[in-house]
Structure 1
Amino acid sequence: MADGGGEDKKMKVLVAVEETEGSLYALSWALDNLFTSASDVPDKTESLGRLVLIHAQQPLQHFMHPVGPCMTDPHHRSFSVLFAVYATSSVIDSVRRAQEQNSRNLLERATQVCRSKLVEAEMVIVDGDPKEMICQFAEQMQADLLVVGSRGLSKIRRAILGSVSGYCAHHATCPVLIVKPPKGNHP
């Protein structure tokens, strides 16, 4: 950006994508409403903004499983015995490779949506809790806008699972646009 010259600041838009149709709907909405395709611009080399697609992979976790019958201590409190189940390194590597391939496939699908609208996009895959990683990356790239889809969770599921869009709306350092699919089209 020039210091008072005629060069315009290009908007940096971060769009979070995941495996839901609501996420791809939000991407399509952003492309249709925030970006003009190159065919709409006299100089086709002009970029109208920077679009970055982000996908956050959940980290692999070890699971705790209750084993055996419920036990009772002398104070009549019941409890279950828990054991950690650890996968072998070859299983973890296999799961990680499959997860990375799924992420690449998802982002390729999202990139195809962008190409169909003649908009170029960068792709980023991060590891960690999606809510936190999306907000951290938005701050790191100094995004002008974060676009997230809405899955239309019920109040109970949203309370239990948490909402990525709700978290981002409260914690992101930039404006957040939550795109809800039209009624009757909830994924």
Structure 2
Amino acid sequence: MATGNLASVVVAVDGSEESMNALQWALDNLRLRPDGELVVLHVQPPPNIAAGLNPAPIPFGGPSGLEVPAFTQAIEAHQRRITQAILEHALKICSDKNVEVKTEVVVGDPKEKICEIAANRKADLLVMGCRAIGPLKRVFLGSVSNYCINHVGCPVVVIKGT
């Protein structure tokens, strides 16, 4: 699939093996125009919903929905460390291939933000990984790759997991 007509390729990474395989695939199979850009994109969940870690409401009639600032700050710091590790891994893969890339980190719902960034960057192609989950889990959890295929304004290459 080597081509030299691509001006902008966005590769979405989340730290999973599948997303790193998608990055590797893009590096091995795509050729950008000389002025083209390869963007490694990572989307962080908002800290208040990160892995469902908000503290539970205070029992016995205490205020509910109260966010503890220290707790939120700890989640944000943890997310920054995770993001840094993900980007370092992605950049190592790219440097091993002598490919310079741009990185972008945004906060929000991954499926929506991936489509938004691909549109903002006028991507010619979106590359992403897909975990091998069963159809029942896909119904309940949704599929980021399926959402992107149906909502982004450019072709999508999905590298499936095993």
Q: TM-score, normalised to structure 2's length?
A: 0.84
Residue 110 (structure 1) aligns with = 90
Task: Looking at secondary structure, tell me which structure has more helix per residue.
Answer: 2
Tell me the percent identity: 38
| Partner of residue 18 from structure 1, selected from 14, 18, 31 | 14
Give the alignment partner of residue 140 of structure 1, picking from 94, 106, 120.
Answer: 120
Q: Is the 8 A contact 2:125 2:157 kept in 1?
A: yes
Map of 2:38 onto structure 1 = 51
Which secondary structure state, in structure 2, belongs to the residue aligned with residue 61 of structure 1?
A: helix
Q: Which amino acid aligns with 1:29?
A: W
- Say which of 132, 138, 145 aligns to 1:165: 145
Distance in 2, matches of 1:107 and 1:53, equals 8
2:133 aligned counterpart, secondary structure: coil
Unaligned runs of 5+ in 2: none
Q: Is the 8 A contact 2:48 2:72 kept in 1?
A: no
- How many residues align structurally? 153
Q: Please list the CA deviations of residues 11-60 of structure 1 after superposition, one character each: whole Å capped at 9, or x if unmatched.
A: 21000000210000111011101138xxxxxxxxx947310000000112
Q: Name the Cα RMSD after superposition.
A: 2.5
Cα distance, 1:13–1:154 mapped onto 2, change above 3 Å? same
Give the aligned residue type for 2:156. V
Structure whose CA Rg is larger: 1
Aligned to 1:149: 129
Q: TM-score when scaled to structure 1?
A: 0.73
